[in-house]
Structure 1
Amino acid sequence: MTRFGLSSCFYKDDVICMLLQRLYRLKQASRVWNETIDKHLKSMGFEPADAGPCIYTRGEGEDEYIVRLYVDGMVIASRQKAVITSVKARIAEKLRIKDLRRARFILGIVINYDMEHRTLGISQRVYTESIIKKFDQENANLCLTPLEPGVHLTKADQPQTRPR
Structure 2
Amino acid sequence: MNSIRVVLSVCAAYEYRMEQLDADTAFLNSELKDRVYMEVPFGIENARDYQYQLNKAIYGLMQAASAWNKTIHRVFLGNGFKSCGADQCVYVKGSKNGFIYVCLYVDDMIIAAKTSEDIREVKDALKNAFKMKELGPAKFILGMEIDHDMTAETLKIKQTRYIDDVVERFGQENAKPVDNPCAAGLKLSKTQSPGTDAEQNAMRSKPYRSLIGCLLYITTCTRPDIAFMATQLSRFLENPGQQH
Task: For residue 61 of structure 1, report the CA deviation from its aligned partner.
Answer: 10
RMSD: 2.9
Higher RCO (C-alpha 8 Å, min separation 6): 2
Residue 117 of structure 1, aligned match among 152, 155, 163: 152
Question: 1:55 matched to which residue of 2?
Answer: 90
Q: Distance in 2 between matches of 1:146 and 1:91?
A: 36
User: What whole-Å deviation, never above 9, does each CA across 1:14-72 have from its counterpart, x for those lacking one?
Assistant: x3222332213433222221111001101112111133221111228961111111211
Render the CA deviation track for 1:82-134: whole Å, top value 9, x for unaligned. Answer: 10011111111222212111121111111112232122211122223333444
The aligned amino acid for 1:108 is G
Q: Which has the larger radius of gyration?
A: 2
Find the counterpart in structure 1 of residue 214 from structure 2. none
Quote the residue 1:143 is aligned against.
Answer: 181
Q: Which consecutive segments of 4 or more residues in structure 1 shift more than 4 A? A: 135-141, 144-147
2:141 is matched with: 106
1:69 aligns with 2:96: no
Residues 102, 109 of structure 2: 8 Å contact kept: yes
Give the secondary structure class of the aligned counterpart of 1:59: strand
Stretches of structure 2 lacking an aligned partner (at least 5 in a row): 1-38, 183-222, 226-244
Give the TM-score, by structure 1 length.
0.72
Partner Cα separation in structure 1 for residue 108 and residue 129 of structure 2? 15
- Structure whose residues are more often helix by fraction: 2
SS at match of 2:72: helix
Matching of residues 1-164 of structure 1 within 5 Å: 5-7=41-43, 9-13=45-49, 15-59=50-94, 63-135=98-170, 138=175, 142-143=180-181
- Percent sequence identity is 31
For structure 1, which runs of at least 5 residues remain unmatched after alignment? 148-164
| Residues 1:106 and 1:40: Cα distance change in structure 2 (over 3 Å) | same
Distance 2:119 2:79 in 1: 13
Aligned residues: 144
Structure 1 residues 75 and 20, CA gap change in structure 2 (3 angstroms)? same
Task: Report the TM-score when normalising by structure 2.
Answer: 0.50
